[in-house]
Structure 1
């Protein structure tokens, strides 16, 4: 299902409301969360809603999608730092209920298995929030990642490192590897919302619409999910064919 809005602000309000509705309907929900510039206005709007109408978050559990290998939780470009700056520092979620991959783990294999196991122990994620990379990656699952993958280490593609280089002082500082939730972990979520905004996402969104379900385009795996929503602003939807626009609600 496509939801297309005119502005980023409208996208953010809609997506934040979906998150809030899930929390209210299921106070002990397990949420899969994403990072990146697309999510910043979504989290800002969610915080605004929660300030206007406080909700008990003591039973909520969160799992983040990914983290750079080699960056500490205190590094300003780590996703751990991002989440606390944009969301967790302002919410009353118990610390033990917040799960983020450890970019400095010394036992990567065990850390990956433990992360996926923790999600499965809760019966899977109730809602997974996703962005999308310009090459179609979800989380950090780059093209040709197996659709049955669990949490694993990925070598970041040159395109991903270039795209993310804008957040670093120098391109050479961008990590080469990351920990990421696997595509199978993502697909097992009961509900998935993919958000894309801006004209830099228009081409990949058009590719996603026309693509077959194929590992060369990781996000295409989502097409087989029974409860999957794509939320776009008008710029990100600019290259979608008329057929896609007719499907939009």
Structure 2
């Protein structure tokens, strides 16, 4: 796990976008894992800007969303399919048929989850998975206590997650209680994971999953076992890290050719 501490969200977005641009240029048919929430929005803005001002094309790329609410009607503005479309895929040249997500409206959700896993496999697996992290350390919607080997499945949200997400709805009463999410085992199959966290409210989660034990109580801690995880954080999110100076030194002296 590489921890990179940067001065502001714009710098974080630029570094993450650099990694995605480099991947897509090397592999035009790359498979991206797409997260929602506030953390990746700057990255999507930067990639859209590069697409419109340069030669960066996503025409051959496939994208797979991390998760989806259960029970929202198709087309609901806060469904994650709509969020990803609005915030990213409608702003680039990716083909709509190449954007996939878990089906929270399926009549048979377990069958839909299995089909989603198969679609990822058929696409060749995720090359780069973009992630945020919840204040309790969840990634995707893998809440505390999730199996570290879990696959795409239905999950119940804890109260804190519903409270955190209520800002996207008119009230907490509108936030669904259930979601479909890629499992931790599914996320761990990605070849490169890039996790973004900013702000003091994420400092405890960052400390726990970077320097704490690998444990189901902090789902993101499983990334300590991933062969290629990059954690991009600002100074506020890094404020609880014991080895923050070491992470700064390591990144400042990193060879230019190495990338992230």
TM-score (norm 1): 0.96
Is 1:245 matched with 2:245? yes
Q: What secondary structure, in the 3-state scheme, does the structure 1 residue paired with 2:167 have?
A: helix
Partner of 2:256: none
Q: CA deviation at 1:53?
A: 1.2
Give the 5 Å matches for 1:1-249.
1-241=2-242, 243-248=243-248, 249=251
4+ residue runs over 6 A deviation: none
Q: Is the 8 A contact 2:147 2:184 kept in 1?
A: yes
Q: Is the 8 A contact 1:209 1:244 kept in 2?
A: no
Question: Could you tell which deviates more after superposition, 92-101 or 63-72?
Answer: 92-101
Q: CA deviation at 1:57?
A: 2.0
User: How far apart are the structure 2 equivalents of 1:232 and 1:134?
Assistant: 14
Q: CA deviation at 1:131?
A: 0.4
User: How far apart are the structure 2 equivalents of 1:12 and 1:132?
Assistant: 15
User: How far apart are the structure 2 equivalents of 1:164 and 1:236?
Assistant: 19
Query: Unaligned 5+ residue runs, structure 1?
Result: none
User: How far apart are the structure 1 equivalents of 2:60 and 2:75?
Assistant: 26
Q: Is the 8 A contact 1:72 1:103 kept in 2?
A: no
Q: Is the 8 A contact 1:30 1:60 kept in 2?
A: yes
Q: CA deviation at 1:247?
A: 2.5
Count of residues in correspondence between the two structures: 248
Query: Unaligned 5+ residue runs, structure 2?
Result: 252-260
Spell out, residue by residue over 1:86-117, the C-alpha distance to the aligned partner (whole angstroms, 9 max, x if none): 11111111122110122211110110000011
Q: CA deviation at 1:209?
A: 2.5
Q: Is the 8 A contact 1:73 1:103 kept in 2?
A: no
Q: Is the 8 A contact 1:202 1:237 kept in 2?
A: yes
User: How far apart are the structure 2 equivalents of 1:131 and 1:98?
Assistant: 19
Spell out, residue by residue over 1:54-84, the C-alpha distance to the aligned partner (whole angstroms, 9 max, x if none): 2332211000000000113411111111111
User: How far apart are the structure 1 equivalents of 2:152 and 2:61?
Assistant: 21
Spell out, residue by residue over 1:165-204, the C-alpha distance to the aligned partner (whole angstroms, 9 max, x if none): 1111111111000000111111011111110011111111
